[in-house]
Amino acid sequence: MAKRSRNFVCQECGAVTAQWAGKCATCGAWNCIVEEQEEQTPPATANLVSIKGGKGRKANFETLKTETRDAPRIETNLSEFDRVTGGGLVPGSAILVGGEPGIGKSTLLLQAAAALAQNGAPVIYLSGEEATAQVRMRAARLGLSEAPVALGTETNVANIVSSLSDGETPALVIVDSVQTLWAENLEAAPGTISQLRGCSSALISHAKRKGYCLVLVGHVTKEGQIAGPKVIEHMVDTVLYFEGQSGHQFRILRSVKNRFGPTDEIGVFEMGYEGLAEVANPSALFLSDHEENSPGTAVFAGMEGTRPILVEIQALVAPSSLGTPRRAVVGWDTNRLAMIIAVLEARCGVRLSGHDVYLNVAGGLRLTEPAADLAAAAALLSSLTDTPVPEHTTLFGEVSLTGAIRRVGHAEQRLKEAAKLGFSRAILPAGNDVQSKDRNKASADDGQKNGGIEQVEL
């Protein structure tokens, strides 16, 4: 007989406590602790998934040898989606697609499902949030009504598992969303951590046994009312986040974990009336409104995964009337801005303590690469001194606390992309490996090799 215990579980981070509290002691979130009843033994999923081999039976051990070197892939033909997954879907794997409500997750996955189904692969789309009529209306708007996607609204995991066990094994099963799933043997309400964990692990192990690719959609919420998809990140093979800023039509699909491919890879989409359109050349898009000779802007030659992307960094430095001046960022990390400001003050004698500082990455992209520091510093100085960055110039390099500019990877790829987009000059860390020896290098610094900068004509 299963033993039952009452637990108080934080819906934000999954921490378990013996008592209710207004604030989670682990993650600090407020009003996110919910009482859940959990069956301790057997494991939460035991009634759903039959576990082979009982007590005393020897486990099988196998060798590392494999016939194929790379995991087999199923391409969806949505090339930006395939790029982020590392070349297509891997049979028998699980992918989590997280994002804020309304960002476009259902739209993206319906498009991916339809693209795959049109290629002849059997695809199942389970929508726990919308009625089939709503999904059909969306498909009609996207011009995908004819795609042979099997549509369902089942949310009971035991029913899903038994329907998927009969007949032809699908290539792809999409569950939209994981927060609507529930299992009868778990007493917690749908959307709680216990349900989320139990249902996800049952579906994931079923997908691995049957060999289909499972995509779980998860909403990220700030209020903590619904258990965050973070608690199932460790169970899945690939974690993708769909991001974007309100007011921007660009959407970015970012891989943050991938057992079958590179992470930090991004796919860029544009949300329009007819769904998500792939953006094949994101640099051109992010720079489409870039104005040369405008103070406070600098173009950063960045890398997102394996792809170089040029993006405009905008800064506004204005005298502050506040005791503690404001520092605000969009698409940038606050601590990194504080660090650049501190380095400018301490190492370059630039006084910013009496100024409000705003830093914005154009187009809704979120920069995480330290290589963007130099461009951000240039934008800040350009705004402070009201002097534009020289025309057709791009920058990259990491600013260290000593004030040195550190070398970064993929210099050649960044320069190639910049040249392709019409930039004629790049400012980069001195000594950064630029393969083409015939490039006309002119040192713009005081002659120091390491820690300084150099200028390269493209």
What sign for the dihedral angle of Cα 304, 308, 311, 317?
A: positive
Minimal distance, residue 256 CB to ligand TYD, in Å: 17
With 0-12 CB in 10 A as exposed, 13-18 as middle and 19+ as buried, what is 451?
middle
Q: Residue with CB nearest Mg ion?
A: 106
| 275 binds ligand TYD per the rule CB under 6 A | yes
User: Is position 349 annotated in a ligand binding site?
Assistant: no
Minimal distance, residue 111 CB to ligand TYD, in Å: 9
| 23 binds ligand TYD per the rule CB under 6 A | no
Closer residue to ligand TYD in complex, CB, 249/320: 249
| 155 binds Mg ion per the rule CB under 5 A | no
User: Is position 210 annotated in a ligand binding site?
Assistant: no
Q: Which of 45, 47, 76, 107 binds ligand TYD (CB under 6 A)?
A: 107
| 274 binds ligand TYD per the rule CB under 6 A | yes
Residues 58-117 that bind Mg ion (CB under 5 A): 106
| 91 binds ligand TYD per the rule CB under 6 A | no
User: Is position 104 annotated in a ligand binding site?
Assistant: yes
Closer residue to ligand TYD in complex, CB, 228/397: 228
User: Is position 211 annotated in a ligand binding site?
Assistant: no
User: What is the pattern of x (binds ligand TYD, CB under 6 A) and - over residues 348-367?
Assistant: --------------------
User: Is position 100 annotated in a ligand binding site?
Assistant: yes
Minimal distance, residue 101 CB to ligand TYD, in Å: 5
User: Is position 53 annotated in a ligand binding site?
Assistant: no
| 102 binds ligand TYD per the rule CB under 6 A | yes
User: Is position 294 annotated in a ligand binding site?
Assistant: no
How many residues touch ligand TYD (CB under 6 A)?
15
Going by the annotation, the residues of the binding site are 99-106
Q: Which residues here bind Mg ion, judged by CB under 5 A?
A: 106
Q: Which residues here bind ligand TYD, judged by CB under 6 A?
A: 99, 101-107, 138, 141-142, 271, 273-275
